[in-house]
Amino acid sequence: MNKIDVKSERFAALRYRDFRLLWIGLLISNIGSQMQFAAINWHIFILTHSAVSLGLIGLSRFIPIAFFSLIGGAVADARNRKTILFITQIVLMSVSVFLAFATLLNIATPLIIYIITAISSIAIAFDSPPRQAIIPSLVHKDHLTNAMSLNSIMWRTAMIVGPTFAGIIIGQFGVAFVYFINAVSFIGVIVALVLMKTSGEVEGEPSKISFKAILEGLSFVKSKPIIWSTMILDFFSTFFASATSLLPIFAVNVLNVGSKGYGLLYAAESIGAVLSGYILAHLGVIKNQGKTLLIAVFIYGLATVVFGLSKMFIISFFALFFVGVGDSVSTIIRNTIRQLTTPDYIRGRMTSVNMIFFMGGPQLGEFEAGMLAAMIGAPLSVVVGGIATIVVVGVVALKIPVLRRYTGEK
């Protein structure tokens, strides 16, 4: 792997062939996945018109992650990471095809959708650790922040394009067509994996798939305060300020903008994230990373409060835009810290621990938001969550000084 002059290339990581292939494949796949995520929320709302039912989507995603992510991390550190990714793409594709046919045949009840969502989450529990762990082997370490910024741009671009397309397609062709498109999109990653020259093998001696290996991953995270502190901040901020599952309620009952407006609201957060990711990719090294992380999460919480209070579409759109800015900056910093401070032999297990926090926060948060919205209404539920996030930032800043003082310098 040749080093590329970071100063001469704004998006240096894309100059690495295998990273570029995987990045493009994941962009295609994630557009389909984000279309399906948005479609499932809309599908459940149309079937039930219930905030509680929307909240259960998050619960059906989190429970499999909680049970299987640590095993997925152990597998990622013991087996060929490319092979694991290939298998998970096939599983995810098959599940989407089943959901599409179930919808066409009018047998896609809320229970079936929850079960399909749970099966997909099991596959994701085995997909995410190798997908993240393989990145440092595709680029030079000096370009890892650039690679993380590009990954954030890719992911958020998918979150702009996917929900927007989903809103249009649902209105024109129905939900089932969205599920079919998602199934086809997994071909992008499959082709990339076939073309990549990187072996996918773990550097050094692969671990064995065992309970001991899982405990080693937990012990490693526990021994690194800078890693577990970012996980704690991530979990609680997204737990309190997750409003994505309630967007159908805001689109229909608060803002009166329908399915197309719903797609735009769903995409607004990602537009802010893409622009901020682009700026960070251009800047390269971020100084005072700990303070920047805390400020970013504060912005995330404040913008959430504004969204909950808004009764105008344009204000709601820009509030979600700044939610995306805060989330993107904090995500890039957190991921860079974790990858740089974790050796390759245990990177999959570290990622699997992080999955519980990274995915558990927003998924349990969606369940919490749905329950709270059923009691006090969606707008007030979101406002309370945003305020709680701001409080979390203050507590973490005071109680975990190692994070506040972290600069990113060796």
pLDDT digits (tens, 9 = 90+) for 364-397: 787 787 788 888 888 899 999 999 999 999 998 8
CB atoms within 10 A of CB 193: 20
Whole-number percent of the chain with pLDDT over 70? 95
Q: Is 98 exposed, middle or buried (0-12, 13-18, 19+ CB in 10 A)?
A: middle
pLDDT of residue 179: 96
- Per-residue pLDDT tens for 302-354? 999 999 999 999 999 999 999 999 988 888 888 888 877 788 778 778 888 88
Q: In the numeric block, which tokens belong to residue 308?
A: 């909950």
Tell me which residue has tokens 């009018």.
Answer: 106
Q: Which CATH topology does 10-404 take?
A: Growth Hormone; Chain: A; (1.20.1250)
Instruction: Compute the distance between CA of residue 275 and CA of residue 272 in angstroms, rounded to an integer.
Output: 5
Tell me which residue has tokens 């045949």.
Answer: 105
- Per-residue pLDDT tens for 77-104? 888 899 999 999 999 999 999 999 999 9
Q: With bands split at pLDDT 50, 70 and 90, how would you rate the model's confidence at 284?
A: low
pLDDT at residue 4 is higher than 50: no
Instruction: Compute the distance between CA of residue 331 and CA of residue 144 in angstroms, rounded to an integer.
Output: 14
Mean pLDDT, the chain, rounded, equals: 86
Q: Is 398 exposed, middle or buried (0-12, 13-18, 19+ CB in 10 A)?
A: exposed
According to the 3-state scheme, what is the secondary structure of the chain?
CCCCCHHHCCCHHHHCHHHHHHHHHHHHHHHHHHHHHHHHHHHHHHHHCCHHHHHHHHHHHHHHHHHHHHHHHHHHCCCCHHHHHHHHHHHHHHHHHHHHHHHHCCCCCHHHHHHHHHHHHHHHHHHHHHHHHCHHHCCCHHHHHHHHHHHHHHHHHHHHHHHHHHHHHHHHCCHHHHHHHHHHHCHHHHHHHHHCCCCCCCCCCCCCCCHHHHHHHHHHHHCCHHHHHHHHHHHHHHHHCCCHHHHHHHHHHHCCCHHHHHHHHHHHHHHHHHHHHHHHHHHCCCCCHHHHHHHHHHHHHHHHHHHHHCCCHHHHHHHHHHHHHHHHHHHHHHHHHHHHCCCHHHHHHHHHHHHHHHHHHHHHHHHHHHHHHHHHCHHHHHHHHHHHHHHHHHHHHHHCHHHHCCCCCC
pLDDT of residue 285: 62
Tell me which residue has tokens 């619960």.
Answer: 59
Tell me which residue has tokens 């401070």.
Answer: 341
**What is the model's pTM?**
0.76
Q: Cβ distance 156 to 274 under 8 Å? A: yes
Residue in 206, 203, 187, 204 with CA at minimum distance from that of residue 195: 187
Q: What would the mean pLDDT of 276-299 be, rounded to a whole number?
A: 81
CB-side neighbour CA atoms (13 Å) of 218: 10
pLDDT of residue 341: 79
